[in-house]
Amino acid sequence: MSAKMPLRSIPSLPNRMAAGRPVLAQRQVTELTERVMGMTSADTVYVIVSHTARVVTRMANGQVLSGDDGDELEIFIGTKFGNRNGVKVTTNQLDDSSLRAMVQHGERLAREGIGPVDSSVAEERQEPDQLIPVQLWHEETIRAMSTTRGTVIPELLGAIAHEQLRAAGFLGIMARSEALITKEGIAVYSEETDCEITVTARTADGKSSGWGGQAARNWTAVKYADVAAHAARMAKLGVDPVALEPGRRVAILGAPAVAQITRFMAQQFNAASTDRGMTALSKLPYGNKLRMRVLDPRIDMSSDPADADGGYRPYFSSGNGTKAMTWVENGVLKNLAYDPLYAMVKGKPYAEDPYSLRIAGGPTSVDQMVAQCKEGVYVNRLSAVEMVDQRTALMTGVMRDGCFLVKNGQIERGLKNFRFLDSPFFFMNSIEAIGPTARAPFGYTPRAAGESWFTDWPRRPMIVPPMMVRDFNFNALADAV
Amino acid sequence: MVKHTRRVFLATSSLATAGSLVTLRGIGAQPITLRTAASHLTGDTLLPEPATPMDLRALGTAAMDAARQGGASYADIRVAERHSFSLYLDANNVAPDLEVKSTLSFGIRVIADGGLAFVHGTSPTIDSVTTAAREAMATARGYAKLVTKPVEFLPLPSVTGEWSTPMKVDPFTVPLEDQAALLHAYNGASTRVYHAGTQGTRFQWTRETRVFAASNGTLLTQQLRYSEPMLRSGGDWMMGAVNFLPPRIGYASGGYETVMIPGLQDDIKATAEEVARLARLPRRAFDVGRYPVVLDGATFGTVLGTTLGPALELDRVLGDEADASGTSFVSPPMEQLGRVITSSALTVTAHRNPPSYAAVKWDDDGTEAHEFPLVQSGRLVDYITSRSSAPALQRWYEQQGQPLRSHGCAVAGEAGHPVLVRSPHLTVAPAAQRATLEDLYRDIPRGLLIRYADNVATDQQLSSGSLTWAGAMFEIEKGKIVRRIDGNGIQFGTSTFWKSLMAVGDANTTGMGTFYLSKGQPWRYVIRTATAPAGFFKDVNVISTKVRL
């Protein structure tokens, strides 16, 4: 091996898992950030070290398809001299020679630059904040990384096969540790665990499909037998689906369907975009709808790093602390998210777009919604949702794995899927009933066009209720099953 | 390989502003001289010395030794070092933003007792890769108990080889100062046109040494090069009204020659003038209903590449993605092959040849990639395959008198990603007779022309689509462009849409669609491209996207 090969490296994942710590410890990631900081003399330095480990099993066609186990290290260094344009450097090698090479080359570029000073670049806010204490790391989840495969996967496959259905699915468990420091004195650390399990159950003829899922920070909160049972029930209820005319109808949206829509709400709360007329919260011809009623009075939307059902790291990408925010209260817009520069311009407190959203729940379960519904469509889940127009939050997407005609208080039969075209600023103003709130699973949800949020797996927690709404726009039939 | 020099650059640039003295509209009256202190800086000087292929091969063979010793019936590894850097110049900025990235990663697949496991990592040591191989062995054996149909790969002979993406000018040796000057020049070619502008210009360069080693002794080394320029001219662009891409530049494999194109600044200027002219057209919403629609080549390529392309990926067709990206409406394969699935005007071939972005010599299964037909005059003749999926088509190939083989479409977007079947570059055959874009809409009494759309919302079987974002949409009346359309899109059933293709344009209408395709769980993305001529589709459902809150 040449001298290029590292002097220091991370022990292998099995060894780390055996030691009960699949990712680098706080001391190790912090030491790494400090090591990098010590290699640079730039005026402004920003270092993030993030180490993620995950254990994944995929299922398809009634058996295990494969796994996807491993870890990812990311070391990000931003350096800047004066007001000169900064340089961003990323590497995943932690040996001294690689690190020093990347840091010093980046610094050289930042120092010498390839253009004149850009005096319009304002300094970002850099004072350290007191962070909210959060509990995102759960030892039960770490233990599950080693123990679930042999027990959970056979149970899931067996449960679906028992119903004469074909199983596909996903079991993913992850852990991450991250440290961030800046030359100005910010030094923060977070660690988190997360897991998600999803099961698709399809009939042999491929004409009906059901899906269930759960996601949690703590593995013990996952009731995987319920996931398989729900998927099987959806598939069996959906056999021999019939086509119903598209149109505006009462919709009972399961929590996973609501989550697929509300994941786009984060950027709706962006103050700069809103003030420029680019979101549904813009007030035309200029300004925003702060203190105006924008949604049904039963809707409260908030985010809190210490949320017991989800929560997230208590600092923004700058390292500044994030606090609990109320975005919508009783349907009234209470706050917008001001990025550092825009906050300075507007004299507002700094807050990034929400990392997570909680929509306050109501008392009506899905079964009760069905019982109350004279005629409508129950939607288990949505797929391939995309923003059509940010200015109205108009979205399109397709029903998936459970779409049913509800008549006279009962699920009557399976329906062919629909495509929808609607905005939450319409249907969340036409609410008939709201159910209990829980963290919703996402399943396969890659980044959609126009989506600027964190979009890798696992997606940030979305804690939302099922809803029954009027006049939901099922605007076309979709042949997809 | 051509050595990059300022003289070469100036010789290939037609505007006098393309040197290091650049005047920017709207920044200030004084010409701005780019700093000379950094004239020696290049991508090479920013990045660590690349690992030698020998080092990477040593990791690969060590992992395969460990897998063989552990009793694997098959194993392979992709190990790669990837360097990239990008310069992005906003239209209002003087100096570009710079990002540099260097990563090393590996991914190992092992089959043991019929179970398949995948393990990836970023620690490039012998100990790390051999431990990972053993870990994959243990996991595969555990999975084998839950497998009723064992995983098998088409056998390949043991091959050793090296290949490099063809490249004329290495962008890692071109001074950053010169690259910044070219960005300024390209931005300026748009911004100097009255009522036109740009959202900024970016060059992004990637070099990757990727080694593939398999347990049968195959050892392949590829030096891959990617160019990801972002360049878009907008008319009335603050309103996002009309955004076009200049011709002849786009995502490709290759070197600096992919952006330093003789006459490109003239093309950018012409594109900016065209969008400025079109942006001045009156604008209104179109009535919903069914109308003839013409797509330019870039849009045609995007719609094809995001609907029919993934629908023909055989792992998806066979159900491997049922809980993730979904299955396919072109299923089951033995019932679909030989059937007419689109209009007879559509002929599609697939390949991984340079300079397409997907270009490689060997795929991530170790199969040599080759060109193959997918759709011939509307008839489905093949699927996009890998070594593990191709055997499902054995009977079809026997009927056709063709050998059973993979088409070389197994892809790990990065070495540490799982290997999945991914669409290669798709090419639609243009019309042999002259047929311009204008010819395609000349006889339309009332309809739509859509240009430069780069996104289509699909569904879990690719059976429907919704196109609501485009560089611009125009109303056609009596064969002429009369208005810009604001607040409409098209929605379609994929099969019906491709059967409604009435005519395609000639080779001069060809454009390239560039798009992201995601797949897997956790999902991973790859960038893909498709080239196509313009196309005329009848009776397409035009929807309204204009609502009032």
Residue B544: pLDDT band by 50, 70, 90 thresholds? very high
Residue A270: pLDDT band by 50, 70, 90 thresholds? very high
Judged by CB atoms closer than 8 Å, whether chains meet at B545 and A389 is answered as yes
Judged by CB atoms closer than 8 Å, whether chains meet at A6 and B123 is answered as yes
* E strands in A81-208: 87-91, 166-182, 187-202
Chain B positions touching A448 (Cβ under 8 A) are 457
Length of chain B: 549
**Mind telling me how many Å the CA of A17 is from chain B's nearest CA?**
12
Chain B positions touching A212 (Cβ under 8 A) are none
**Mind telling me how many Å the CA of B506 is from chain A's nearest CA?**
31
Among all chains, which residue has been given the structure tokens 């906050």? Answer: A343
Express each pLDDT in B346-371 by its tens digit.
999 999 999 999 999 999 999 999 99
Q: What is the pLDDT of residue B34?
A: 43
Type of residue numbered B205: W
Q: What is the pLDDT of residue A100?
A: 87
pLDDT of A154 strictly over 60: yes
Answer yes or no: are the C-beta atoms of A411 and A237 closer than 8 Å.
Answer: yes
Give the residue among B508, B506, B479 at the shortest CA–CA distance from B345.
Answer: B506
pLDDT of B9 strictly over 90: no
- E strand or H helix that includes residue A67: strand A63-67
Q: The tokens of A109 are what?
A: 């570029």
**Mind telling me how many Å the CA of A130 is from chain B's nearest CA?**
31
pTM: 0.94
Judged by CB atoms closer than 8 Å, whether chains meet at A93 and B457 is answered as no
What end-to-end distance do the CA atoms of chain A give, in Å? 52
- Chain A residue with minimum CA distance to B491: A476
Express each pLDDT in A337-371 by its tens digit.
998 889 889 998 888 888 899 999 999 999 999 99
Judged by CB atoms closer than 8 Å, whether chains meet at A114 and B493 is answered as no
Average the pLDDT over A245-263 and give the result.
97
**Mind telling me how many Å the CA of B503 is from chain A's nearest CA?**
26
Average the pLDDT over B277-288 and give the result.
92
pLDDT of B6 strictly over 70: no
User: How many Cα neighbours within 13 Å face the side chain of B241?
Assistant: 23
Type of residue numbered B272: A
CB-closest option in B105, B118, B177 to A68: B118
Type of residue numbered A396: T
Distance in angstroms (rounded) separating the CA atoms of residues A454 and B318: 31
Q: What is the mean pLDDT of chain A?
A: 91
Percent of chain B with pLDDT over 90: 81
pLDDT of B11 strictly over 50: no
Express each pLDDT in B79-114 by its tens digit.
999 999 999 998 877 788 899 999 999 999 999 999
* E strands in B408-479: 410-411, 420-421, 425-428, 446-451, 464-467, 472-477
Judged by CB atoms closer than 8 Å, whether chains meet at B457 and A384 is answered as yes
pLDDT of B259 strictly over 70: yes
Question: How many Cβ pairs within 8 Å bridge chains A and B?
Answer: 332
**Coil vs helix vs strand at B66:** helix
Q: Give the mutation candidate from A80, A99, A114 for the B interface (greatest B CB count, under 10 A).
A: A114
Least confident of A181-185, A326-330, B344-348, B541-545: A181-185
Give the residue among A8, A163, A1, A153 at the shortest CA–CA distance from A75.
Answer: A8
Average the pLDDT over A27-44 and give the result.
92
Per-range mean pLDDT, top range of B12-26, B32-46, B342-356: B342-356
Distance in angstroms (rounded) separating the CA atoms of residues B94 and B23: 10
Judged by CB atoms closer than 8 Å, whether chains meet at A388 and B468 is answered as yes
Q: What is the pLDDT of residue A2?
A: 43
Average the pLDDT over B208-230 and give the result.
98
**Coil vs helix vs strand at A282:** strand
Q: What is the mean pLDDT of chain B?
A: 91
CB-closest option in A118, A150, A425 to B549: A425
What end-to-end distance do the CA atoms of chain B give, in Å? 58
Chain A positions touching B458 (Cβ under 8 A) are 384
Type of residue numbered B447: G
Express each pLDDT in A184-203 by its tens digit.
899 999 999 999 999 999 99
- Chain B residue with minimum CA distance to A120: B93
Judged by CB atoms closer than 8 Å, whether chains meet at A66 and B117 is answered as yes
Distance in angstroms (rounded) separating the CA atoms of residues A68 and B121: 10
Express each pLDDT in B54-87 by its tens digit.
999 999 999 999 999 999 999 999 999 999 999 9
**Mind telling me how many Å the CA of A211 is from chain B's nearest CA?**
8
Express each pLDDT in A92-140 by its tens digit.
988 888 888 888 888 888 887 665 555 444 455 566 788 999 999 999 9
Residue B475: pLDDT band by 50, 70, 90 thresholds? very high
Distance in angstroms (rounded) separating the CA atoms of residues A225 and A230: 9
Residue B236: pLDDT band by 50, 70, 90 thresholds? low
Judged by CB atoms closer than 8 Å, whether chains meet at A168 and B132 is answered as no
Which class for B171: exposed (0-12), middle (13-18), buried (19 or more C-beta within 10 A)? buried
Q: What is the pLDDT of residue A8?
A: 62
Q: What is the pLDDT of residue B27?
A: 25
By DSSP bridging, strand B480-485 and strand B472-477 are antiparallel
Determine if residue B437 is left, alpha or beta; phi over 0 gives left, psi from -120 to 50 gives alpha, anything else beta: alpha
**Mind telling me how many Å the CA of A439 is from chain B's nearest CA?**
19
| Beta-bridge partners for B348 | B375, B428
Give the residue among A52, A48, A58, A44 at the shortest CA–CA distance from A10.
Answer: A52
pLDDT of B258 strictly over 70: yes
Type of residue numbered B473: M
CB-closest option in B322, B466, B546 to A60: B322
Query: Which is higher by pLDDT, B386 or B35?
Result: B386
By DSSP bridging, strand A44-60 and strand A69-80 are antiparallel
Residue B24: pLDDT band by 50, 70, 90 thresholds? very low
Express each pLDDT in B507-533 by its tens digit.
999 999 999 999 999 999 999 999 999
Distance in angstroms (rounded) separating the CA atoms of residues A242 and B188: 57
- Chain A residue with minimum CA distance to B455: A449
Q: What is the pLDDT of residue A80?
A: 86
Query: Which is higher by pLDDT, B207 or B279?
Result: B207
pLDDT of B28 strictly over 60: no
Q: Give the mutation candidate from A12, A209, A333, A385 for the B interface (greatest B CB count, under 10 A).
A: A12
Q: Which residues have a Cβ under 8 Å from the Cβ of A400 and sit 6 or more positions away?
A: A209, A211, A380, A381, A382, A383, A417, A480, B326, B459, B460
pLDDT of B237 strictly over 60: no
Q: Give the mutation candidate from A64, A418, A445 for the B interface (greatest B CB count, under 10 A).
A: A64
Answer yes or no: are the C-beta atoms of B186 and B231 closer than 8 Å.
Answer: yes
Q: What is the pLDDT of residue B37?
A: 47
**Coil vs helix vs strand at B246:** coil
Q: What is the pLDDT of residue B35?
A: 46
pLDDT of B10 strictly over 60: no
Express each pLDDT in A16-33 by its tens digit.
888 889 999 999 999 999
**Mind telling me how many Å the CA of B320 is from chain A's nearest CA?**
5
In 3-state terms, chain A is what percent helix, strand and coil (to 5)? 25, 35, 45
pLDDT of A282 strictly over 60: yes
Chain B positions touching A398 (Cβ under 8 A) are 459-460, 464
Q: For CA atoms B59, B62, B66, B72, give the dihedral sign.
A: positive
Judged by CB atoms closer than 8 Å, whether chains meet at A88 and B521 is answered as no
pLDDT of B18 strictly over 60: no
Measured CA to CA in angstroms, residue B514 lies from A474, B322, B438, B453 at distances of 30, 26, 23, 10
Least confident of A317-326, B19-28, B99-108, B238-247: B19-28
Q: What is the pLDDT of residue B240?
A: 52
Query: Which is higher by pLDDT, B429 or A351?
Result: B429
| Beta-bridge partners for B542 | B289, B490
**Mind telling me how many Å the CA of B462 is from chain A's nearest CA?**
7
Q: For CA atoms B339, B342, B346, B348, give the dihedral sign.
A: negative
- Chain A residue with minimum CA distance to B50: A4
Judged by CB atoms closer than 8 Å, whether chains meet at A9 and B319 is answered as no
Query: What is the radius of gyration, based on Cα positions, of chain A?
Result: 24
